Amino acid sequence: FRQADTMKSLRLLLAALAVVTAVLADHHAHDDVDKLVEGINRITYQIFEFEHKLDARLDPARIRRAGSLEARVEALEEPSCAEHQHQCGGDDPQCISSLFVCDGRVDCRNGEDEKHCSLPTNPGDTFVGDVVFDHCTKRRPQHITLQVESVSTAKFFPAFPKVHVHLEISSDNDFEHAEASLPGDGYYSFADDELVIYPPEEDGLAFHGDFDGHNFDRFVGDIIHTASDEACARFIFHRK
Protein backbone atom coordinates (compact mmCIF):
# COMPACT_ATOMS: atom_id res chain seq x y z
CA PHE A 1 0.00 0.00 0.00
CA ARG A 2 2.75 2.38 0.91
CA GLN A 3 4.60 1.57 -2.27
CA ALA A 4 1.47 2.04 -4.34
CA ASP A 5 0.90 5.39 -2.61
CA THR A 6 4.43 6.52 -3.40
CA MET A 7 3.99 5.39 -6.97
CA LYS A 8 0.75 7.34 -7.21
CA SER A 9 2.31 10.54 -5.90
CA LEU A 10 5.29 10.04 -8.18
CA ARG A 11 2.94 9.60 -11.15
CA LEU A 12 1.09 12.76 -10.15
CA LEU A 13 4.34 14.67 -9.83
CA LEU A 14 5.45 13.47 -13.22
CA ALA A 15 2.19 14.50 -14.84
CA ALA A 16 2.37 17.90 -13.20
CA LEU A 17 5.95 18.35 -14.39
CA ALA A 18 4.99 17.45 -17.94
CA VAL A 19 2.19 19.99 -17.91
CA VAL A 20 4.43 22.67 -16.44
CA THR A 21 7.16 22.02 -19.02
CA ALA A 22 4.67 22.12 -21.85
CA VAL A 23 3.11 25.32 -20.52
CA LEU A 24 6.52 26.87 -19.94
CA ALA A 25 7.70 26.00 -23.44
CA ASP A 26 4.46 27.32 -24.93
CA HIS A 27 4.66 30.49 -22.88
CA HIS A 28 8.18 31.08 -24.06
CA ALA A 29 7.24 30.61 -27.72
CA HIS A 30 4.22 32.86 -27.25
CA ASP A 31 6.38 35.76 -26.11
CA ASP A 32 8.67 35.33 -29.10
CA VAL A 33 5.74 35.23 -31.53
CA ASP A 34 4.38 38.44 -30.00
CA LYS A 35 7.71 40.10 -30.49
CA LEU A 36 7.80 38.92 -34.08
CA VAL A 37 4.31 40.28 -34.77
CA GLU A 38 5.34 43.57 -33.19
CA GLY A 39 8.37 43.72 -35.49
CA ILE A 40 6.23 43.03 -38.54
CA ASN A 41 3.75 45.72 -37.53
CA ARG A 42 6.54 48.23 -37.06
CA ILE A 43 8.03 47.59 -40.48
CA THR A 44 4.58 47.66 -42.12
CA TYR A 45 4.05 51.09 -40.59
CA GLN A 46 7.43 52.26 -41.85
CA ILE A 47 6.68 50.96 -45.35
CA PHE A 48 3.34 52.82 -45.40
CA GLU A 49 5.08 55.98 -44.25
CA PHE A 50 7.69 55.66 -46.98
CA GLU A 51 5.03 55.01 -49.58
CA HIS A 52 3.22 58.14 -48.41
CA LYS A 53 6.39 60.20 -48.90
CA LEU A 54 6.83 58.79 -52.41
CA ASP A 55 3.19 59.46 -53.30
CA ALA A 56 3.52 63.07 -52.13
CA ARG A 57 6.20 63.60 -54.78
CA LEU A 58 4.19 61.86 -57.50
CA ASP A 59 0.88 63.59 -56.68
CA PRO A 60 -0.78 64.23 -60.08
CA ALA A 61 -2.48 67.39 -58.81
CA ARG A 62 0.94 68.85 -57.97
CA ILE A 63 2.37 67.91 -61.35
CA ARG A 64 -0.66 69.53 -63.00
CA ARG A 65 -0.25 72.74 -60.98
CA ALA A 66 3.45 72.95 -61.88
CA GLY A 67 2.56 72.29 -65.53
CA SER A 68 0.02 75.13 -65.50
CA LEU A 69 2.69 77.52 -64.18
CA GLU A 70 5.07 76.32 -66.90
CA ALA A 71 2.36 76.96 -69.50
CA ARG A 72 2.01 80.54 -68.22
CA VAL A 73 5.74 81.13 -68.68
CA GLU A 74 5.61 79.53 -72.14
CA ALA A 75 2.77 81.90 -73.04
CA LEU A 76 5.02 84.83 -72.05
CA GLU A 77 7.91 83.56 -74.14
CA GLU A 78 8.09 84.00 -77.88
CA PRO A 79 6.26 81.23 -79.70
CA SER A 80 8.92 78.70 -80.64
CA CYS A 81 7.05 77.25 -83.62
CA ALA A 82 5.52 78.86 -86.67
CA GLU A 83 1.77 79.29 -87.01
CA HIS A 84 -0.16 76.04 -87.49
CA GLN A 85 2.74 74.13 -85.99
CA HIS A 86 2.92 72.31 -82.69
CA GLN A 87 5.87 72.23 -80.28
CA CYS A 88 6.73 68.67 -79.25
CA GLY A 89 8.32 70.07 -76.08
CA GLY A 90 10.35 68.18 -73.55
CA ASP A 91 14.14 68.25 -73.69
CA ASP A 92 14.00 67.82 -77.43
CA PRO A 93 12.25 70.78 -79.08
CA GLN A 94 10.73 69.99 -82.46
CA CYS A 95 7.95 71.57 -84.51
CA ILE A 96 5.42 69.48 -86.38
CA SER A 97 2.28 70.43 -88.23
CA SER A 98 -0.77 70.86 -85.99
CA LEU A 99 -2.59 68.39 -88.23
CA PHE A 100 -0.29 65.60 -87.04
CA VAL A 101 -1.11 65.87 -83.31
CA CYS A 102 -3.18 62.94 -82.05
CA ASP A 103 -3.66 61.47 -85.54
CA GLY A 104 -2.67 57.98 -84.39
CA ARG A 105 0.87 58.14 -85.76
CA VAL A 106 3.98 59.18 -83.84
CA ASP A 107 5.51 62.22 -85.56
CA CYS A 108 7.57 63.79 -82.74
CA ARG A 109 10.91 62.14 -82.00
CA ASN A 110 9.86 61.92 -78.34
CA GLY A 111 6.33 60.76 -79.16
CA GLU A 112 4.73 63.70 -77.30
CA ASP A 113 2.21 64.26 -80.10
CA GLU A 114 0.36 61.04 -79.32
CA LYS A 115 0.61 61.05 -75.51
CA HIS A 116 -2.07 63.53 -74.44
CA CYS A 117 -5.02 62.67 -76.60
CA SER A 118 -7.95 62.28 -74.22
CA LEU A 119 -10.72 64.73 -74.99
CA PRO A 120 -11.53 67.12 -72.08
CA THR A 121 -14.96 67.97 -73.46
CA ASN A 122 -17.00 64.79 -73.44
CA PRO A 123 -20.76 64.51 -73.96
CA GLY A 124 -22.53 65.50 -70.74
CA ASP A 125 -19.70 67.73 -69.49
CA THR A 126 -20.82 71.12 -68.20
CA PHE A 127 -18.64 74.20 -67.75
CA VAL A 128 -19.72 77.39 -66.05
CA GLY A 129 -18.03 80.64 -67.02
CA ASP A 130 -17.77 83.87 -65.00
CA VAL A 131 -17.45 87.13 -66.88
CA VAL A 132 -14.14 89.01 -66.89
CA PHE A 133 -15.05 91.67 -69.45
CA ASP A 134 -17.74 91.91 -72.07
CA HIS A 135 -17.94 94.57 -74.77
CA CYS A 136 -19.94 92.80 -77.43
CA THR A 137 -22.47 90.16 -76.42
CA LYS A 138 -26.11 91.03 -76.88
CA ARG A 139 -27.22 89.99 -73.40
CA ARG A 140 -24.20 90.94 -71.23
CA PRO A 141 -24.61 87.91 -68.96
CA GLN A 142 -22.74 87.41 -65.68
CA HIS A 143 -22.43 83.69 -66.40
CA ILE A 144 -22.47 81.42 -69.43
CA THR A 145 -23.02 77.67 -69.12
CA LEU A 146 -21.45 75.51 -71.79
CA GLN A 147 -22.97 72.07 -72.17
CA VAL A 148 -21.33 69.47 -74.39
CA GLU A 149 -24.11 67.60 -76.18
CA SER A 150 -22.27 65.25 -78.51
CA VAL A 151 -18.85 64.53 -79.95
CA SER A 152 -18.00 62.70 -83.14
CA THR A 153 -14.54 61.71 -84.28
CA ALA A 154 -13.89 60.88 -87.92
CA LYS A 155 -12.01 57.56 -88.08
CA PHE A 156 -9.72 58.81 -90.83
CA PHE A 157 -9.04 62.18 -89.14
CA PRO A 158 -9.04 61.84 -85.35
CA ALA A 159 -6.99 64.99 -84.68
CA PHE A 160 -10.05 67.28 -84.74
CA PRO A 161 -13.14 65.77 -83.10
CA LYS A 162 -16.39 67.55 -83.96
CA VAL A 163 -18.20 68.93 -80.93
CA HIS A 164 -21.81 69.99 -80.58
CA VAL A 165 -22.58 72.25 -77.59
CA HIS A 166 -25.32 74.35 -76.06
CA LEU A 167 -24.50 77.76 -74.64
CA GLU A 168 -26.99 78.56 -71.90
CA ILE A 169 -27.24 82.25 -71.18
CA SER A 170 -29.52 83.81 -68.63
CA SER A 171 -29.54 87.56 -68.39
CA ASP A 172 -31.32 90.11 -66.27
CA ASN A 173 -31.79 93.69 -67.18
CA ASP A 174 -34.02 96.34 -65.68
CA PHE A 175 -37.05 95.26 -67.68
CA GLU A 176 -36.98 91.53 -68.15
CA HIS A 177 -35.40 88.22 -67.35
CA ALA A 178 -34.36 86.34 -70.46
CA GLU A 179 -32.94 82.89 -71.02
CA ALA A 180 -31.39 81.57 -74.17
CA SER A 181 -29.93 78.26 -75.17
CA LEU A 182 -27.82 78.63 -78.29
CA PRO A 183 -26.84 75.43 -80.10
CA GLY A 184 -23.37 75.61 -81.60
CA ASP A 185 -21.07 73.40 -83.63
CA GLY A 186 -17.33 73.35 -83.66
CA TYR A 187 -14.26 71.25 -83.07
CA TYR A 188 -11.59 70.52 -80.50
CA SER A 189 -7.95 70.91 -81.51
CA PHE A 190 -5.47 68.72 -79.61
CA ALA A 191 -2.57 70.71 -81.06
CA ASP A 192 -3.68 73.96 -79.40
CA ASP A 193 -5.81 72.49 -76.57
CA GLU A 194 -8.56 74.66 -77.92
CA LEU A 195 -12.31 74.34 -78.34
CA VAL A 196 -13.64 76.39 -81.24
CA ILE A 197 -17.38 76.97 -81.69
CA TYR A 198 -18.60 78.62 -84.89
CA PRO A 199 -20.96 81.60 -84.47
CA PRO A 200 -24.28 80.24 -83.16
CA GLU A 201 -26.09 83.43 -84.18
CA GLU A 202 -26.00 85.76 -87.15
CA ASP A 203 -23.85 88.30 -85.30
CA GLY A 204 -20.53 86.72 -86.32
CA LEU A 205 -19.40 86.10 -82.73
CA ALA A 206 -17.53 82.81 -82.33
CA PHE A 207 -16.36 81.12 -79.15
CA HIS A 208 -12.80 80.01 -78.39
CA GLY A 209 -12.14 77.94 -75.29
CA ASP A 210 -8.44 77.87 -74.45
CA PHE A 211 -7.16 75.12 -72.10
CA ASP A 212 -3.64 75.52 -70.70
CA GLY A 213 -2.76 71.92 -71.63
CA HIS A 214 -2.36 70.70 -68.04
CA ASN A 215 -5.44 71.66 -66.08
CA PHE A 216 -8.50 70.44 -67.96
CA ASP A 217 -11.01 71.59 -65.34
CA ARG A 218 -10.61 75.25 -66.24
CA PHE A 219 -10.28 77.26 -69.43
CA VAL A 220 -10.36 80.83 -70.69
CA GLY A 221 -13.34 81.32 -73.01
CA ASP A 222 -13.15 84.25 -75.42
CA ILE A 223 -15.94 85.61 -77.60
CA ILE A 224 -14.32 86.53 -80.88
CA HIS A 225 -15.32 88.63 -83.87
CA THR A 226 -14.82 86.14 -86.67
CA ALA A 227 -14.03 88.87 -89.17
CA SER A 228 -11.24 90.56 -87.19
CA ASP A 229 -10.25 87.66 -84.91
CA GLU A 230 -10.46 90.09 -82.00
CA ALA A 231 -11.59 88.99 -78.54
CA CYS A 232 -14.33 91.27 -77.26
CA ALA A 233 -15.49 89.32 -74.21
CA ARG A 234 -13.81 86.92 -71.85
CA PHE A 235 -15.17 84.35 -69.42
CA ILE A 236 -13.27 81.98 -67.13
CA PHE A 237 -14.88 78.54 -67.25
CA HIS A 238 -14.80 75.82 -64.60
CA ARG A 239 -15.91 72.23 -64.94
CA LYS A 240 -19.07 71.62 -62.98
Partner 1 sequence: MWYVLLLIGLAAAASDPYKERRTQYLLTSQRLHVEQLERDLHALEDAFGKLSPDVDPKKVRQIKARVSNLEGPHCPEHQGQCGGDVPQCINDLLFCDGHEDCRNGRDENPEVCSLAPTHVGSSYTGVATWTSCEESEPHNAVVTITASERKSFFPARVWVRAVLAFEDDEHSHHVRTFPLRGYYNFGRRALVLGPELGTKPLYGVRCYFNLGDDDHADCKIVAPASLSICAHFSANRY
Gyration radius (Cα) of the chain, Å: 35
Sign of CA dihedral 151, 155, 161, 163: negative
* Closer residue to partner 1, CB minimum distance, 47 or 178: 47
- Paired with 168 in beta bridges are 145, 181
* Closer residue to partner 1, CB minimum distance, 24 or 178: 24
**Min dist. Cβ of residue 52 to partner 1 (A):** 12
Q: Interface with partner 1 by CB under 8 A: which residues?
A: 7, 11, 14-15, 17-19, 21-22, 25, 28-29, 32-33, 35-36, 39-40, 43, 46-47, 50, 53-54, 56-57, 69, 72-73, 76, 130, 132, 218, 236, 238
**Min dist. Cβ of residue 36 to partner 1 (A):** 6
Distance CA 147, CA 132 (A): 20
**Min dist. Cβ of residue 111 to partner 1 (A):** 26
**Min dist. Cβ of residue 211 to partner 1 (A):** 14
* Closer residue to partner 1, CB minimum distance, 12 or 154: 12
Residue type, 38: E
| Torsion, CA 38, CA 41, CA 42, CA 45, rounded to 10 | -160
* Closer residue to partner 1, CB minimum distance, 14 or 154: 14
**Min dist. Cβ of residue 11 to partner 1 (A):** 6
Distance CA 61, CA 152 (A): 29
With beta carbons less than 8 A apart as the criterion, state whether 222 and 231 touch.
Answer: yes
* Closer residue to partner 1, CB minimum distance, 7 or 178: 7
* Closer residue to partner 1, CB minimum distance, 97 or 215: 215
For 214, the enclosing helix (H) or strand (E) is none
CA distances from 77 to 36, 70, 89, 129, 229 (A): 60, 11, 14, 27, 22
**Min dist. Cβ of residue 149 to partner 1 (A):** 25
Between vectors from CA 236 to CA 61 and to CA 81, what angle results, nearest 5°?
75
Q: Residues in the chain, how many?
A: 240
